[in-house]
Amino acid sequence: SRLIVAAAAQMGPIARSDTRKTVVERLVGLLGEAASRGAELVVFPELTLTTFFPRWHMTDPAEIDAFYETEMPGGETRPLFEAAKRLKIGFYLGYAELVVENGVQRRFNTSILIDRDGEFVGKYRKIHLPGWDTPQPDMASQHLEKYYFEPGNLGFNVFKTMGTRIGMAICNDRRWPETYRVMALKGSEMILVGYNTPDDHTGNFDFDSLTQFHNQLSIQAGAYQNSNWVVATAKAGREEGSNLIGQSMIVAPSGQIVAMATSTDDEVVAARCDLDMAALYRKTIFDFARHREPDQYRLIVET
């Protein structure tokens, strides 16, 4: 079997006043713990480096820009890259990206993948942006990702690295079947996801009380229906008055949860992932070439 030890490095809350330096020290600590459990690949959350700022409506450009990275690694994030290289651990890191492309300033909710030698493998920019582009007066808590980011423009790519084929997604993407299916069709065996999920995100209690169930349901279904390992990592806990769910988990291509966090704080969960398990499901019930009927799916891609 082809094996990889993967870990989800869940983070507890990050205060608005926390510095990048403090956060990166926590990340390095989590890497060390993952290394002691034999991890070769560590998944950090969405927007790992700061508090989940889309909960606030800010208008001062300097205040907004402070939450974004203009280079990766930058001076403050470099210690994480150095530690990972020293420990020979690959990692996924989510962050807010501010770039100038063709003279235009652009903002994305981004993740990158770094291999065990510290080499850059690939970048993903979040495609499904939930919430609103203007503050909602009737909602107790805001979710303004459409105000702070534009939809990702890099597609759902799959990267051949670390002895497998890895795809990336970010938070709300995990609820959409197309996310997993596009990467599975491109041959992914493992999908990495970071998330920040408040337990009151719809404002409807019937719905919100099922937030943890829907998290598991989405990830387990995505893994099983697409024969992929999924490593999903939360930023969790009570952050600036908002309760973020935990449940960071590693799910097998069978849909079984093989490891799950039990806290809503900094916590590492790890599992030995048999990559050939993805091939087993792909050769049987989900042999795409034999069983899919794409002619019947055309409506899915009509707008």
Which residue among 171, 183, 231, 250 contacts ligand CDT (CB under 6 A)? 171
* Count of residues near ligand CDT by CB under 6 A: 11
Closest CA to 164 of 181, 185, 183, 187: 187
Which residue among 107, 143, 165, 181 contacts ligand CDT (CB under 6 A)? 143
Judged by DSSP in three states, 213 sits in helix
Q: Kindly state whether residue 131 participates in binding ligand CDT, applying the rule CB under 6 A.
A: yes
Binding mask 41-60 for ligand CDT (x = CB under 6 A): -----x--------------
Q: Kindly tell me which of 13 and 90 has the beta carbon lying closer to ligand CDT.
A: 13
Closest CA to 66 of 25, 107, 37, 116: 107
CA distance 159 to 177: 20
Q: How far is the CB of 229 from ligand CDT (least distance, A)?
A: 20
Q: How far apart are the first and last CA of the chain?
A: 42
Q: Tokens 């001062």 — which residue?
A: 60
In contact, 34 and 259? CB cutoff 8 Å = no
Q: Kindly state whether residue 175 participates in binding ligand CDT, applying the rule CB under 6 A.
A: yes
85: left (phi over 0), alpha (psi -120 to 50) or beta: alpha
CA distance 230 to 223: 6
Q: Kindly tell me which of 45 and 253 has the beta carbon lying closer to ligand CDT.
A: 45
Q: Kindly state whether residue 181 participates in binding ligand CDT, applying the rule CB under 6 A.
A: no
Which listed range, 17-25, 59-67, 191-199, 277-285, lies at the site for ligand CDT (CB under 6 A)?
191-199
Q: Kindly state whether residue 125 participates in binding ligand CDT, applying the rule CB under 6 A.
A: no
Q: How far is the CB of 284 from ligand CDT (least distance, A)?
A: 31
CA distance 101 to 169: 22
CA distance 215 to 210: 9
Q: Tokens 């420990």 — which residue?
A: 87
Q: Kindly state whether residue 180 participates in binding ligand CDT, applying the rule CB under 6 A.
A: no
Q: According to CB under 6 A, which residues from 200 to 229 bind ligand CDT? A: 201
Q: Is 171 a catalytic residue?
A: yes
Q: For the purposes of burial, counting CB atoms within 10 Å of the CB of 154, is it exposed (0-12), middle (13-18) or buried (19 or more)?
A: middle
Which listed range, 59-67, 81-89, 96-104, 193-201, lies at the site for ligand CDT (CB under 6 A)?
193-201
Q: Kindly state whether residue 7 participates in binding ligand CDT, applying the rule CB under 6 A.
A: no
Q: Kindly state whether residue 67 participates in binding ligand CDT, applying the rule CB under 6 A.
A: no
Q: How far is the CB of 159 from ligand CDT (least distance, A)?
A: 22
Which residue among 10, 50, 179, 196 contacts ligand CDT (CB under 6 A)? 196
Q: Kindly state whether residue 197 participates in binding ligand CDT, applying the rule CB under 6 A.
A: yes
Judged by DSSP in three states, 187 sits in coil
Which one of the listed residues 171, 235, 239, 273 is annotated catalytic?
171
- Residues forming a β-bridge with 11: 235
Other residues' Cβ atoms within 10 Å of the Cβ of residue 125: 21
Which residue among 48, 172, 227, 228 contacts ligand CDT (CB under 6 A)? 172
Closest CA to 24 of 62, 88, 72: 72
Which one of the listed residues 40, 69, 97, 126 is annotated catalytic?
126
CA distance 154 to 169: 11
Q: Is 126 a catalytic residue?
A: yes
> Catalytic site residues?
46, 126, 171
Give me the residues that bind ligand CDT (CB under 6 A), please: 46, 130-131, 143, 171-172, 175, 195-197, 201
